[in-house]
Chains A and B, each alone.
Chain A
Amino acid sequence: MAKSKDGPLNRRRFLKGAAVGAAALVTPAAAGGQQPQTTARGGAVLPSARALAVETEPVSTSVEVLTADHPGSDFMVDVIKSLGFEYIAANPGSSFRALHESIVNYGGNKNPELLTCCHEESSVAMADGYAKVEGKPMAVMAHSTVGLQHASMSVYNAFAGRTPVFIVLGNTIDAAARRPGVEWYHSAQDAAAMVRDYTKWDDLPISLTHFAESAVRAYKIALTPPRGPVVLVADSDLQETPVADLSRLHLPKLTLASPPAGDPIAVAAVARLLVAAENPVILGGTAIRTPEGMQLLVELAETLQAPVAGGKFPSNHPLSGAGQIRDADVILGLDVADLWGTVNNVRDQLERSTEPIAKKGVKLVSITANDLYIKSNYQDFQRYTEVDVAIAADPEATLPSLIDACKRLITADRRRFLDDRGKKLAAAHDRGIEQARTAATYGWDATPISTARLSAELWQAVKDKDWAMVGGAGSRLWNIDKHYQTLGGGGAAAVGSGLPIAVGAALAHRKHGRLAVSIQNDGDFMYAPGALWTAAHHRIPLLSVMHNNRAYHQEVMHIQRMANRHQRGITNAGIGTRIENPNIDFATIARGMGVHGEGPITDPKDLGPALRRAVEVVQRGEPALVDVVTQPR
């Protein structure tokens, strides 16, 4: 609906005019309640300015409009509901106050339900975690300027992880309509500009019809591989201006684009390489989104009897993790963010040097939708990889035709060869499991608690449940056989994103009754711990197990490297990097936010019982945290 600036329902303009009129009539002193009275000659008291105005001004026939049945934000909620959002996460902000109110009242606070967040970084990261599990976006509302600035790290993290996030950004574009002071600080002429380098698309609608069409377009763009975050600016005037008749506005139909599948000729070429290979390796990357995709990856691996490293592949499958890059003659990368870094090694010494891990002559094949979309400024695209075949397509959508093409090429003789290779890989897989089991015994009883012990104790606590990891990773000894049991990686390694991603992912798992488990880093936790309160407030079941090494340990190692390189002060790497003195009591923090908290656990014998108690709490539908003081890595 086109909005008339001159219409009778132009609320702001009306109120603004009324205010100016009053200012002209009332003197500052009168406004302060100390109205001077002037005595006229002869002792009669002259009327005050206010009384004079009342007596002499013509009687106004207009009545100030103070209420509205349906602001534009109601229609925005209709649009948001039409897109099927379950949740909308927000830290409250005045630039979207009308939309906020419309969601909870007009929309009934259901589909979407508003999630109260303590930081915009958490709002977006929660949406990131939710999308990684649910495969569709969560909506986020963010306040203009300062709110989006807070959110920006998580926006970049979602962009690098190719995760769809739908951000509605409040803003007040009409300078004449802004309240003085704060609203000016919290307005921008191009509000989405600051994240444009790392979002797929944004728009600034100037009418409700424009808002509706751009919202549906944004949703479609966010979900078209390569997926990513989008921003839709919701102008505050557009939100707050009443709509005469909601029924006259149209809700556009959403039709998602089917993901692009690989070109058949290129797929056939890849199949020839794979079937002829002596030692192919499949890199799972972030290709798999669905249970069907996981089955397809298994089918490809079994068809070829080729090992799969990384990605969503059953960990106990005989072809899981058994191959070696250095032995491979064909490497197939499926949405591998850093293929170059997987087949090459950079030595981080004073003079950085590189050397290939893969052998000379290896054939590299890449299937990724990332080739379809790339931006310039932020370097998330990683180093250029010299591949032999590049298919710009969605790997999951390409797997069926690739499997078929491979099957057509496999002769009976080749099948025997492949089956023999499969047996060797299965034996290697078993040896790898045994090696991991033996490795876990070293430092088993150590204090601080070894990460292997933590992982083994956690597995014992969850292995008989319908569990899902939403942060950190289990070990090779875990049996991961469902696509939702890991988040699948992806992201910009943004410290501070782990906790809110875990909360958002746990929320997605809640309706499925899954036990969400996160191994939570202490440094990450301290960026925005309020996400744990959000979990308590919204009763999001999440078992958060602290990997509390009392440091930003990656940075400890970096400073150590510099000190060693400079041959001085090698005992000082902890300055500015360790999180101690005082040690943080994470269990107390958790309890302070209404979350079951245990710890710090320092004796490994205490860990198993504490985890089992926490699992019971989570299975009752509440979050729980167990603080485990750990070895650094």
Chain B
Amino acid sequence: MNFFILLALASALGAQAPGQAPNAGTAAGTAQATPAGNVENGKKIFAGYGCYECHGYVAQGGGAGPRLAPRPIAFAAFSRYLRRPTAQMPPYTSKVVSDKELADIYAFLQSIPEPPPARSIPQLNNPAR
């Protein structure tokens, strides 16, 4: 998969950037529409159903898929995209992932904490200059 496809994926499903303001399509903007989910089961499903394959075990993103957490996109958009992805991601239909399981996955994504700031990590502190 080339770099440009990744960009398309990132824009479709990726988490919000740090400092990005919530809007009607974001998690904060549609909090009332977000079903309750089981974090532990969501974490288990995230690995068992193959989400980790492209997005990493802690949804950090990588060479094959965008970052999903922290600050996942709004549940409605998340759910819509998983059911009918418009880019490269394989579809997760209700036949293989229930709505309850989607909610659990989403709860897991919401539970993922913010990382330490780059300036606090010596290995990332202007490493290439």
| A residues neighboring B (CB under 8 Å) | 309, 315-316, 325-326, 341-342, 345, 347-349, 357, 433, 437-444, 446, 448, 450-453, 456-457, 459-460, 463, 477-479, 553, 556-557, 560-561, 563-565, 567-568, 570-571, 573, 608, 631-633
B residues 75-129 near A (Cβ < 8 Å) are 85, 87-88, 90-93, 95-97, 115-118, 121, 123-124, 127-129
Q: Which A residues are CB-close (under 8 A) to B18? A: 438
Contact between chains at B4 and A564 (CB < 8 Å): no
Contact sample, A vs B, 14 pairs, CB 8 Å cutoff:
A357-B4, A433-B128, A438-B118, A442-B67, A450-B62, A452-B60, A477-B124, A477-B127, A556-B53, A567-B95, A571-B49, A632-B64, A633-B53, A633-B54
Contact between chains at B127 and A446 (CB < 8 Å): no
- Ranked 10 nearest A-B pairs via Cβ: A443-B60, A564-B90, A442-B60, A441-B115, A479-B128, A633-B62, A633-B63, A560-B50, A456-B123, A561-B90
Contact between chains at B96 and A565 (CB < 8 Å): no
In Å, the complex CA distance between A433 and B118 comes to 12
Contact between chains at B90 and A459 (CB < 8 Å): no
Q: Which A residues are CB-close (under 8 A) to B58? A: 442-443, 446
Q: Which of A342, A441, A568 contacts B116 (CB 8 A)?
A: A441
Measured as residues with beta carbon below 8 angstroms from the partner, the interface class of chain B is: 35 or more
Given the interface pairs A564-B96, A573-B50, the reply to whether A440 lies near B56 with Cβ below 8 Å is no
In Å, the complex CA distance between A387 and B116 comes to 47
Contact between chains at A441 and B63 (CB < 8 Å): no
Contact between chains at B56 and A437 (CB < 8 Å): no
Q: Which B residues are CB-close (under 8 A) to A438? A: 18, 118
| B residues neighboring A (CB under 8 Å) | 2-5, 8, 18, 48-50, 52-54, 56-58, 60-65, 67, 85, 87-88, 90-93, 95-97, 115-118, 121, 123-124, 127-129
In Å, the complex CA distance between A527 and B50 comes to 25
Q: Which A residues are CB-close (under 8 A) to B65? A: 633
Contact between chains at A342 and B127 (CB < 8 Å): no
Q: Which A residues are CB-close (under 8 A) to B54? A: 557, 632-633
Contact between chains at B87 and A459 (CB < 8 Å): no
- Of chain A, the residue at the smallest CB distance from B91 is A564
Q: Which B residues are CB-close (under 8 A) to A315? A: 128
Given the interface pairs A439-B61, A451-B62, A570-B49, the reply to whether A460 lies near B56 with Cβ below 8 Å is no
Contact between chains at B62 and A560 (CB < 8 Å): no
Q: Which A residues are CB-close (under 8 A) to B2? A: 341-342
Q: Which B residues are CB-close (under 8 A) to A451? A: 62-63
Q: Which A residues are CB-close (under 8 A) to B116? A: 441, 444
Q: Which of A479, A571, A632 contacts B48 (CB 8 A)?
A: A571
Contact between chains at B127 and A608 (CB < 8 Å): no
Contact between chains at A631 and B88 (CB < 8 Å): no
In Å, the complex CA distance between A633 and B9 comes to 15
Q: How many A-B residue pairs have CB under 8 A?
A: 135
In Å, the complex CA distance between A451 and B60 comes to 10
| Minimal beta-carbon separation of A443 from chain B (angstroms) | 3
Given the interface pairs A441-B117, A442-B67, A463-B127, the reply to whether A632 lies near B53 with Cβ below 8 Å is yes
In Å, the complex CA distance between A19 and B116 comes to 82
Contact between chains at A564 and B92 (CB < 8 Å): yes
Contact between chains at A567 and B53 (CB < 8 Å): no
| Minimal beta-carbon separation of B93 from chain A (angstroms) | 6
Contact between chains at A633 and B118 (CB < 8 Å): no
Contact between chains at B4 and A325 (CB < 8 Å): yes
| Supplied contacts A441-B115, A556-B50, A570-B49, 18 more A-B pairs, CB within 8 Å | A316-B128, A325-B4, A341-B2, A442-B67, A444-B121, A456-B121, A456-B123, A456-B124, A459-B127, A459-B128, A557-B54, A563-B50, A564-B50, A567-B95, A573-B50, A633-B53, A633-B54, A633-B56
Contact between chains at A446 and B90 (CB < 8 Å): no
Contact between chains at B90 and A443 (CB < 8 Å): no
Most chain B Cβ neighbours within 10 Å, of A342, A437, A448, A479: A437
In Å, the complex CA distance between A556 and B118 comes to 32
| Minimal beta-carbon separation of A325 from chain B (angstroms) | 6
Contact between chains at A347 and B87 (CB < 8 Å): yes
- Of chain A, the residue at the smallest CB distance from B47 is A571
Q: Which B residues are CB-close (under 8 A) to A433? A: 128
- Of chain B, the residue at the smallest CB distance from A564 is B90
| Minimal beta-carbon separation of A482 from chain B (angstroms) | 14
Given the interface pairs A345-B5, A451-B63, A633-B64, the reply to whether A460 lies near B53 with Cβ below 8 Å is no
| Minimal beta-carbon separation of A97 from chain B (angstroms) | 46
In Å, the complex CA distance between A633 and B67 comes to 12
In Å, the complex CA distance between A287 and B93 comes to 44
Contact between chains at B129 and A316 (CB < 8 Å): yes
In Å, the complex CA distance between A443 and B63 comes to 14
| Minimal beta-carbon separation of A3 from chain B (angstroms) | 55
| Minimal beta-carbon separation of B104 from chain A (angstroms) | 15
Given the interface pairs A441-B118, A570-B96, A633-B62, the reply to whether A345 lies near B8 with Cβ below 8 Å is yes
- Of chain B, the residue at the smallest CB distance from A460 is B123
Q: Which of B5, B48, B56, B124 contacts A631 (CB 8 A)?
A: B56
- Of chain A, the residue at the smallest CB distance from B53 is A557
Contact between chains at B118 and A437 (CB < 8 Å): yes
Q: Which A residues are CB-close (under 8 A) to B57? A: 443, 446, 448, 631
Contact between chains at A631 and B123 (CB < 8 Å): no
| Minimal beta-carbon separation of B63 from chain A (angstroms) | 4
